[in-house]
Chain A
Amino acid sequence: MSGPAAVRIEIDDGVARVVLDVPDASMNVLSVAVLEELDEAVASAAAHPGVRAIVLCGGKESGFCAGADVDGIADCRDREEGRRAAAFGQEVFGRIERASVPVVAAVHGPCLGGGLEMALACRGLIASHEPKTRLGLPEVLLGIVPGFGGTQRLSRRVGVAKALDLILTGRMLSAKRALSAGVVDDIVCPFKLDEEARRYALELAGGGTRRNEKRRGGWMRWLDRGPLRSFVLAKARRDVERRTRGVFPAPLRAIELIDRAFEPDRFGGYRAEAEAVGELLELDVTHHLVDLFRRREALRKAAGDTAGVGAGDVALVVGAGVMGAAIARAFLKKGVEVRLVDVSAESLRKGVEGIAAASARDVRRGRIGRHEAGRALDGLRPGVGLEAIARSTLAVEVVVEREDVKADVFRRLREALPKSAPLFTNTSSIPITRIAESVEDPGRVVGLHFFNPVDRMPLVEVVVGERSDEATVRRAVAVARDLGKVPVVVKDSPGFLVNRVLAPYLAEALLLLEDGVAPADVDDAMRDLGFPMGPLRVLDTVGLDVAGHVAESLAPLFEGRSGDPRIGGVLVEKGELGEKSGRGLFLKKGRRRVPSPSLDARLEEARRRRGRGTVRVEPAEVRDRPFLLMLAESARAFAERLVDDPRDFDAAMVFGTGFPPNLGGPLREIDRRGAAAVVERLRELSARYGPRFAPGDDLVDRADSGEPFHPREPAS
């Protein structure tokens, strides 16, 4: 232990405050060194003469403890090392649990992962009642399981049902919900936290019982008993397998560990937990998830302290279609005033109606308070035409994808808005550089490309035109960050990054249909790889007309290497555009989706136009045709350096296309398979299905040289 201490002890009238305050960090995170210090501090505080109780609290404004050190997790790839690290944490927390005087955790702000495990080990747990306070065990989202006794202590504390819910979803609880779930013993207003924690600690020292004991789990505790528990756990396992198709091992391990928590052998569960951590850390999928998490944080910090958007800003959103309304809503949610304008009063009204409906839905689901939602909606100022926009401090253009219309909008925005206002466009197919030509100061124009559905897709492409100035680009990154998105800076090029890589993949899925493969087989093949949604489902959601437009705008790029599916065109002609028109590739029946009954006839028509019938496609080809095209296109796009860093490239693909996070990203996946193997398979497909499968030069070079996209990691 060197350097400034991460833990300090303050003794005051019989109670020792053990304060966690990791130096040179904005958040308290637990590393081995910090755990050692904590261990010593608790021991010495307990041994201090006159100390009757200990309060464990965070010394930072930012909160109690954000969990274990993610960098530490990322560096550990060895099973035994991982097991030992977890076991060490368990020992430290075990000593806190059994300390000679009672320890009470006083939690404010985030208390996550290892931080919550630490708090759970204390004999009392009290949290401040404020919006910042969040408690949860998000380890599963990183591909691991809580490793410092969390699976055992939480399960025994709140029962099998609640524990499954919290650990499998990684959900965070507010102080109030944590109280009613029985996770915390008591909540108290922020400025009384210290005083009340102290009182509680002395209460326990005086032989008092735990608060909130009655509430813990409630009647659901019946489920903890033998047969019922097996039933609940089996159901959970089935649900997880159905949702994740077995590509993520961590949730399944977590379910086993929750089961162990109720067995008489108290130590067995802890041992199993440490072993599970070790085993999971050996797997690539875990490290991919950890990397993606770290990339996400890094991308969100890319703009540094550049101000993005906040209260006091007026965001002008031009165009109230589905995307415009959703983007407006993203601003409103952050308390930003929004001026939403459209040329048509009717589409404006529809946009506002959609925003209000989405907000009402959020209120119904308890995601946001009724009052808060009302205030956010008050910030919405709809208007027809570009009137009264002079107060806007930034603009996002989301109008129809026509260059002349956009040019006109930008000219008028430039006239009306203050010079300091950046002008963003959400175009998906028109080069930013060309749009920027319509104004005298093209530096102000940057692409800010959101994905549908905006409230669920984390990625925003920040597209840099040739003349975009750096300050505006930084501002765009900061705006995306403030809207809670993950910004990735992308070079201006047809389709930018995501749509370009998606296009051949989606087209190939349609071609598989035309070749006679059943829709469910196509989607299932991709979902088995780890895609959260099959490509046909994606097309149906986005709309076949929209996908058609994108494909059309990308046509020059794919000249000579396009499969050119016809089915999309046939469906659009019939007005079967997908989910939005009630029928497309699928038909919605209640909550279920079935292949559209007219699809076979439409496919016949498509085959007739192409002049080719069905062919026999091997199951392996159903998987490889779309997927390898995506990999090949990724290699091409990276060769053009649309994104500079391969890690950012991979992250963008995961957050923007739903590329399987368990594989880490397309470049990562090529590295794993080996470029040579990928090239070989592409050549096979090319021989059978046409030149669109021919690998690009860069990929061929890499196959020859063996040079990976990602710099090689130290051998594990």
Chain B
Amino acid sequence: MTAGGEGQARLALCEGVRTPFVRSFGKFLGATADDLARAVLVEVIDRSGIDPGRLDEVILGCAGQPVRAMNIARVAALRAGVPNHVPAVTVHRNCASGIEAIAGALRRVRAGEAELVLAGGTESMSDAPFQLTPEAGRKLVRAFGAKGLLARLSLLRKLRVKELFPRETLRAALTDPISGLLMGDTAEVLAREYDISREAQDAYAAESQRRAVEARERGVFAEESMPFLVPPAFRKVVDQDDGVRSDSTPERLARLRPVFDRRFGTVTVGNACQITDGAAALLTASPRAVERDGLPVVAWVNDVVTVGCDPRRMGLGPAVAIPKLLAKHRLEPGDVAVWEINEAFAVQVLACLKELGDAAPPRDRLNVHGGAIGLGHPVGATGIRIVWTLALELRRRGARYGVASLCVGGGQGAAVLLENPAAGGDA
């Protein structure tokens, strides 16, 4: 049981924060993904008190980058007052983009390329653009390039009304282009193949909501999040996640209609993650920087693994990633005190547990504060959220190991091994 796995360096998580996670097209309307990211970067810098000029890199995960903020990490970093000389990169591993940001920081530290890295993730699903059809786009480009008013008009006349009808891109973004399935469809595949009933899913979802309500009341979310003053008007302060529901019972959930397969399906808006906006960021550091600057270490990231699997069964990603991670570090599932498996769908978590069999985490140590069913899943930010939630929970419990894992659209899985420095680790 070596600390960093094969004797490699580890990454310290020193400070972290997230915005409240808020249902899309709701309270954050008007705030862009870079607005959200800027806010968490500013807050992490403030809370840690570091000089942003000493950062070596800013890495942000974002799955749907807004067109007007290409390389959103750079845009957000500069807007947050990070000086020009600090580089920034945006990473994309679909649902695990946030984990990828942490992995990026870890690799740079291992390679000796960085000491201080801001790793984060941001997503505004509300900002998913509406597009014209490609046919309309082509015709418009030709028309605008034409010489003379008449030529222009005659080209414009070729446009069909049907082609001008805008398409929302969120649905396309949530469809896997290889299998042609919507994310929800892949969940239905798992429900059938693993024979997981609607009742089991609703029961899981209700429990998840219950845990989230309890966590909110105990101030768990207040500790990890910050109030967000919503631009551009700054008229509202949002300081609460708004997807957590105290009225979510299996009976009520049973009344909802399936969304993806209306006749035979089992996946509803109640037992799937919500479409949400939010951002989160962490200050990460190398062991050397920790020692040099006396930075507090909430948790060590011992390792990150990523794996691939069948795009049609993308929800099984954690069932592949977790065994690989544990085997690499010669840990037994029983050594892990707290678990996070992102709740893309209740059925997908349940399928992973079935697939893991004896090695599955017990439900009372898994997603102890609820998950994406209550809080939602702003794709780029979720990885950061679950890792930071887990780190704080390890500290709260004084427990040593924690594992956070996500399934990834397109058929991948990611898992992170955290270790609490205050719990008998061989620092």
Contacts and interface: CB of A to CB of B under 8 A. Distances in A.
Interface centre among A352, A355, A387, A390 (most CB of B within 10 A): A352
Interface string B217-239: 00000000001010111110100
A637 to B, nearest CB: 41
A352 B234 CA distance: 6
Interface string B318-351: 0000000000000000000000000000000000
B357 interface: no
Interface string A364-378: 000000000001011
B92 interface: no
Contact of B231 (A356, A381, A383): A356
Interface in A455-474: none
Nearest to B51: A391
A535 B227 CA distance: 43
A360 B235 CA distance: 13
Interface centre among A357, A378, A381 (most CB of B within 10 A): A378
A360 B232 contact: yes
Given A337-B81, A379-B81, A390 B232 contact: no
Contacts of A379: 81
B134 interface: no
B297 interface: no
Interface stretch (B42-50, B111-119, B183-191): B42-50
Interface in B221-271: 227, 229, 231-235, 237
A390 B49 contact: yes
Interface residues of A, number: 20
A349 interface: yes
B79 interface: yes
A383 B229 CA distance: 11
A356 B230 CA distance: 11
B10 interface: no
Interface string A5-28: 000000000000000000000000
Contacts of B42: 381
Given A378-B79, A388-B46, A388-B47, A345 B233 contact: no
Contacts of B232: 356, 360
A356 B234 contact: yes
A388 B81 contact: no
A353 B38 contact: no
A382 interface: yes
A353 B234 contact: yes
Interface string A161-182: 0000000000000000000000
Interface residues of B, number: 17
Given A388-B49, A390-B49, A356 B81 contact: no
A462 B168 CA distance: 57
A678 B125 CA distance: 72
A311 to B, nearest CB: 11
Contacts of B231: 356, 377
Task: Classify the interface of chain A: helix, strand, loop or mixed.
Answer: helix
Interface string B146-157: 000000000000
B84 to A, nearest CB: 11
Task: Classify the interface of chain B: helix, strand, loop or mixed.
Answer: loop
A349 B229 contact: yes
A142 to B, nearest CB: 40
Nearest to A390: B49
Interface string B60-87: 0000000000000000000111000000
A683 to B, nearest CB: 56
A382 B231 CA distance: 13
A353 B233 contact: yes
Contacts, number: 37
Nearest to B48: A388
A357 B229 contact: no
Contact of B229 (A352, A360, A375, A391): A352
Contact of A382 (B38, B79, B229): B229
Contact of A345 (B38, B51, B80, B227): B227
Nearest to B232: A356
A378 B49 contact: no
Contacts of A357: 233
Nearest to A359: B232
A381 B231 CA distance: 13
Interface string A98-131: 0000000000000000000000000000000000
B234 A349 contact: yes
Contacts of B38: 378
Given A381-B42, A382-B229, A388-B47, A349 B237 contact: yes
A383 to B, nearest CB: 7
A391 B45 CA distance: 11
B46 A353 contact: no
Nearest to B81: A337
Contacts of A375: 79
Contacts of B235: 353
Contacts of B51: 391
Interface string A347-363: 00100110111001000
A268 to B, nearest CB: 46
Interface in B20-58: 38, 42, 46-47, 49, 51
B237 A345 contact: yes
A315 to B, nearest CB: 13
Contacts of A383: 46
Nearest to B237: A349
Nearest to A384: B227
Contacts of B80: 378
Contacts of A390: 49
Interface in B296-311: none
A379 B81 CA distance: 7
B182 to A, nearest CB: 36
A356 B233 contact: yes
A381 B47 CA distance: 13
A102 to B, nearest CB: 34
A375 B38 CA distance: 12
A353 B233 CA distance: 6
Contacts of A356: 231-234
Contacts of B233: 353, 356-357, 360
Contacts of A387: 46
Contacts of B46: 381, 383, 387-388
Given A337-B81, A378-B81, A381-B46, 11 more contacts: A345-B227, A349-B229, A352-B234, A353-B233, A353-B235, A356-B233, A357-B233, A378-B80, A379-B81, A383-B46, A390-B49
List the 7 closest pairs (A to B, CB-CB), nearest first.
A388-B46, A352-B234, A378-B79, A353-B234, A356-B234, A353-B235, A349-B237
13 contacts: A353-B235, A356-B232, A360-B232, A360-B233, A375-B79, A377-B231, A378-B81, A379-B81, A381-B42, A382-B229, A387-B46, A388-B46, A390-B49
Interface of B: 38, 42, 46-47, 49, 51, 79-81, 227, 229, 231-235, 237
